[in-house]
Amino acid sequence: MSRLSVVVPAYNEGESLREFHARLAAVFDKLDLAGDVLYVDDGSRDDTYAVMCSLRETDARVATLKLSRNFGKELALTAGLDQVDADAVVVIDADLQDPPELIPAFVQHWREGYDVVYGTRSARAGESGLKKFTARAFYRVMERLSATPVPRDTGDFRLMSRRALDALKRLRERQRFMKGLFAWVGFKQIAVVYDRDPRFAGVSKFNFWRLWNFALEGITSFSGAPLKLATYVGLSTALLAFLSAAWVFGKALFFGDSVRGYPTLMVVILALGGVQLMALGMIGEYLGRLYMEVKQRPLYLIDELHPARAQEKLENSARPAQSSAVD
Ligand code: UDP
Ligand code: MG
């Protein structure tokens, strides 16, 4: 029987986890394949890990992974996916914004031969107008800039076949923009449209500052367009400068030189200074990422790993809890 693993990154989701697992277990019971779930605790400060452990004790299909600190969702997800060796994997949030009940539909498409089945949101209940607007704007910008199209209004909620997962595992960059990496991998993909529910409990971990950085990450990881922008802004300002130089010379030749033009001078100096700083900043964004990449640090550190007991029986080789670095 083929096997399906579900990876759930969680950061301070103690309140949602039990409800989440109850719903996921109900879905597993109806599936005609062996399902197991890996909960990744991304350095939570509440009782998330304790809840995970108690779920593992009561349900043999539960595996848990605890990271040494909070690494952020992208890396928590990576840590989880690195552990998976099932025939297919589903990635889903712990806050019940993505309904686990959609998994059978994903599996259905996977059996039809799709390698990636992703959930596309048609509605975002419980999210502010501003968030909806910025999210939309972000997906549109990504679409224009990125060479590998990132599907619109699509989060991380998706199913991947084994070969798509193996391909994804080969992308070891430190600055991880998962949506883009998923898209980069390619293969036969299909969208399943669903309504995004409000959070079951707690608040979103992504405030605007984090979302802005997330957007920057996405754009810089998948597009060099901002770097080119500096070239074109520079070229057009240089052109403007030539034209105005001709104008200034002409005026001085025909009408004599009068010492005026302080405002023009200021405008030019300020505009050029601004453009230069902006271009420098843009280069800095890339340089900073290059710097992080060059250090070759491990992506994340594992504190504890407990495989699912159901899985251990299958493999007949119990892996002990371990502390290890993975890069
Ligand atoms: N998450 C995580 N590490 C973090 C932040 C979030 O593992 O540093 C998890 C979180 O527990 C949830 C998922 O990522 O399962 C999505 O987070 P959230 O619901 O806050 O994001 P949103 O749905 O608002 O985009
Ligand atoms: Mg959420």
Closest residue to atom 10 of ligand 1, CA basis: 10
Reported as type and span, the H/E element at residue 35 is: strand 34-41
Q: How far is the first Cα of the chain from the last one, in angstroms, to the nearest whole number?
A: 31
**How many CB atoms sit inside 10 A of residue 206's CB?**
13
Q: Kindly tell me the sign of the dihedral angle through the C-alpha atoms of 97, 44, 75, 219.
A: positive
Tell me, what's the pLDDT at 124?
64
Q: pTM (2 decimals)?
A: 0.72
* Ligand 2: centre distance to CA 222 (Å): 24
* Ligand 2: centre distance to CA 201 (Å): 10
Contact criterion met (CB below 8 Å) for 184 and 113:
no
pLDDT digits (tens, 9 = 90+) for 146-169: 777 777 777 789 999 999 999 999
Tell me, what's the pLDDT at 69?
92
pLDDT digits (tens, 9 = 90+) for 63-76: 999 999 999 898 99
For a ligand 1 pocket test, name from 81, 95, 213 the mutation site with the most ligand atoms within 8 angstroms of its C-beta: 95
Pocket of ligand 1 from Cβ distances under 6 Å: 9-11, 13, 42, 70, 72-73, 76, 93-95, 97, 204-206
DSSP 149-211: PPPTTEEEEEEEEHHHHHHHHT---SS--HHHHHHHH-SSEEEEEEEEPPPSSS--S--HHHH
Show the tokens assigned to 91: 């990635």
- CB neighbour burial string for 58-85, b if at least 16 within 10 angstroms, e if fewer: ebebbbbbbbeebbbbbbbbbbbbbbbe
Show the tokens assigned to 178: 């998962």
